[in-house]
Each structure stands twice: as C-alpha cells, then as structure tokens.
Amino acid sequence: MLIVKKFGGSSVADKERIFNVAERCIEDYRKGHDVIVVLSAMGKTTDQLIAKAEDINPLAPKREMDMLLATGEQVSVALMAMAMNSLGVPAVSLNAFQVQMHTTSTYSNSRFKRIDSERIRHELDNRRIVIITGFQGINKYDDYTTLGRGGSDTTAVALAAALHADACEIYTDVEGVYTADPRVVPNARKMKEISYDEMLELASLGAKVLHNRSVEMAKKYGVQLVVRSSLNRAPGTVVKEAVKMERMLVSGVAVDKNTARISVIGLTDEPGIAFKLFSLIAKSKINVDMILQSVGRDGTKDISFTIPRGDVREALDILEDNKNRITAQKIECEENIAKVSVVGAGMASNPGVAAKMFEALYNVGINIKMISTSEIRVSVIVDSKDADKAMQAAHDSFGLED
C-alpha cells in the first residue's frame, strides 16, 4: 500500500512529538507499506514568521512573505528525517523544488497545477520514507509560493491524488471532525463520517480542521480522507462521497472570525452602481462573501459586504480613491464581527432551519447583523464577542450534543 500521512504543526511542535510521529510512520513502513509524510511548520512557527515580517515591513511583498514562510516547513521535514534516521530507518526530506510541485503564479494563495512523481517514486523504490514540506509550491518564475493558511492538508491530498495513494490520513490535535470546534463547544460530537460537500461547507465557513481546498481536491479526485489524532489511536472521521447514514437536518456549526464588513453609504439609486463597486473589488482579487443592499430611499441606497479581514486596508483604499465614481457619500468598516454558520445536506428539503437558528440566538440575547443562506447552510454575522456563545447556542438547538 502507498500511504500519505499528514501531521499538523502541533503534532510536530517539539522533540517528543517529532519522535512520536516518526514512530507512527515507521510502524507502517515496517509493515512493508510505502510511506509519504507531509508536515507543517513546527508549532506556531508560521505565526511567528508573520509577526517578524510585520515588524520589519507591514506591507511586505507577497513574494518575500512566501519566501519566508516556506522556511517553516523545511525545518520540520529535515528534523523528521533526522529523527527517523536516528531510529535506524532510511528517510529523506524533500521540499517543493526537489519534488517539483508546480502551482499557479499568485503568491500567498496559490493552487497546485502539476506535481512530478518521479523523484518521490525513486525514493520509495529505494525503500525510504519520503518526508515532504506541506503548504509550499513553486511557480513558473521558480519562486516559492504558499497555498494559504492551513494549506498543508492540500499538499497531502494533492500528493495522494498524483501518486494514486491507497490512503490519505490527516493527523491533528483533535480526534476527528466534530459537530463544532471542540475547543469552543465542549459537548460537540465526533462524526464517524461526513460527505465531501458538507465538509467543504464547514471548512469554507471557518472549521479549520481541514483546509477547504484539500476537501475540494479530495472530492474532485475521489481521495477518501481520514482525520484523526496524532496523540492517540481513536478511529477518527472519514470524509467521503455519499455518506449512507441517517440524514441529520444539520451536521455541524462553524465560526469564521477572520471577516470584516464594509458599508458604502448614500450611493445613487441607479443601474450600474453595484457593478462599478464590485468590479473595483474584484480587480484587486479580494473575495466578497455576503452582500446586503438596502431598499432605495430618496434616490440613494447603501450596500454592505463582508471580506476577509486581511483585505480591509486594500479594499478601503480602492473605495476611497473611487468614492466619486461609485457615488458614495460615506464608507464605513467594522472589523469586530464573526460569521456563524450551520451546515447540513438535510436542510435543503426541510424549511425552518433558519428560523430555528435565529430563535436559538434570540434566546441567548445575540443580535444578528447580516444573514445569508444557501441550499445547505445558514450564516449570520454577529459581534465577535458573541461568536463562541452563538456557536454553542446554535449547536445545542439542533441537538448535536454528544
């Protein structure tokens, strides 16, 4: 069997954890399997590198950010290879250049285009454990790129797809995918299985247990994933197609604290204004999430929308520069907000999910600032300070407790 095993930052945070991971990988190797290990940077390394960069230059070029961040994963893979070697097992570490993991050219949020398998196959054929840097790639300029925060999961899935692995195991610091973040909602329940679609929604809506692109890619290439703990042997959660289980109305709740709302006030109520506004934002490659337009009154209207918090400065600059063009009287920004979402394939055919969620929030005195829905989710914007309480209340109101 060919097995891809991915370990996140906390699973390789110190010497003891590195040896713990080494031993778990060696177990599979000794059974005769081919083993590819994908690692994240140790502990909070990536955060620390970002803080260092901000101290030197808060507007650092994205290319240099990727050059910097790519170092984190390189430390983990080299140390892991050393650990395995010290245990008498042949292992080799490889980075994105050595493997040739090609991505799109954009920095800080790039996507895989093509992964060469030759070098990896060669090392596996020589009975080595192959340890590969997560999160990084190379682009057509031969520069390092990164896949966005949490992107090592996507490296693991991409490798599993490219090499037709028999298993792709994502090891982390919780025992699997839960009905809500178990660190915030202590009575959250671990799911045995979850479908790609539901997992994709949860991941995209802030449940960082899996990088959303990893789920997208797993679905596209039919890579079945197992999410489980690196610290114990509990069975974990299987992420796969068409789950044959009783259809829960709601399968999980997620919170995204990395969001901000921009309100553009006093726009002329005429055709083309929304187009002008959002094409400006789109040109800067900023992702707009929720959009709310007020009813026109006295010839003017307001448009509010949410974007990732990291893009606020850029968005405000563009809008201020084009204030007259889009006919805005005032531009406001609110950063202390969070998005709370309930997700479930079962809600497509069941009315009343939104009402039930709003009731749960009302019962704990939380005000809703914006609402959006799709076939399989309901999302609301609330004050950041209410986010965890809202997640707990929504979670319990749908009977998701353990």
Q: What separation in angstroms does the CA of 55 have from each of 50, 130, 157, 262, 392?
A: 9, 35, 34, 27, 36
Asked if 181 is part of the footprint of ligand ADP (rule: CB under 6 A), the reply reads: yes
| Extended beta strands in 344-399, E state | 370-374, 377-383
Asked if 152 is part of the footprint of ligand ASP (rule: CB under 6 A), the reply reads: yes
Beta bridge mates, 238: 193, 226
Asked if 150 is part of the footprint of Mg ion (rule: CB under 5 A), the reply reads: yes
Q: Which is nearer to ligand ADP, 152 or 306 (CB)?
A: 152
Interacting residue with ligand ADP among 29, 107, 112, 178 (CB under 6 A): 178
Partner touching 236 among Mg ion, ligand ASP, ligand ADP, none, CB below 5 to 8 Å by kind: none
Query: Cβ 318 to ligand ADP, closest distance in Å?
Result: 31
Asked if 40 is part of the footprint of ligand ASP (rule: CB under 6 A), the reply reads: yes
Q: Which is nearer to ligand ASP, 134 or 252 (CB)?
A: 134
- Residue entry with tokens 């095993």: 5
Q: Tokens standing for 93?
A: 């570490």
CA dihedral 26, 32, 34, 35 (to 10 degrees): -10
- CA gap 241, 218 in Å, rounded: 10
Count of H-run helices and E-run strands, the chain: 12, 18
Query: Cβ 146 to Mg ion, closest distance in Å?
Result: 13
Beta bridge mates, 180: none
3-state DSSP percent of the chain in helix, strand and coil, to 5: 40, 25, 35
* Binding mask of the shown chain, residues 44 to 83, with x at each position contacting ligand ADP by CB under 6 A: ----------------------------------------
Asked if 151 is part of the footprint of Mg ion (rule: CB under 5 A), the reply reads: no
Query: Cβ 166 to ligand ADP, closest distance in Å?
Result: 22
147 neighbors 155 (Cβ within 8 angstroms) = yes
154 neighbors 213 (Cβ within 8 angstroms) = yes
Total residues contacting ligand ASP (rule CB under 6 A)? 12
Cβ neighbours of residue 40 closer than 8 Å, sequence gap 6 or more: 6, 7, 8, 9, 11, 12, 46, 72, 73, 76, 134, 135, 152
- Residue entry with tokens 């394939």: 345
Q: Which part of the chain contacts ligand ADP (CB under 6 A), choosing from 21-29, 203-211, 304-312, 351-359? A: 203-211
* Binding mask of the shown chain, residues 108 to 147, with x at each position contacting ligand ADP by CB under 6 A: ----------------------------------------
Q: Which part of the chain contacts ligand ADP (CB under 6 A), choosing from 6-14, 25-33, 274-282, 382-390? A: 6-14
Query: Cβ 51 to ligand ASP, closest distance in Å?
Result: 12
Asked if 398 is part of the footprint of ligand ADP (rule: CB under 6 A), the reply reads: no
Q: Which part of the chain contacts ligand ADP (CB under 6 A), choosing from 100-108, 177-185, 256-264, 326-334? A: 177-185
Query: In 3-state terms, what secondary structure has residue 33?
Result: coil
Asked if 134 is part of the footprint of ligand ASP (rule: CB under 6 A), the reply reads: yes
Interface ranges with Mg ion (CB under 5 A): 8, 150
Interface ranges with ligand ASP (CB under 6 A): 8-9, 40-41, 46, 72, 134-135, 149-152
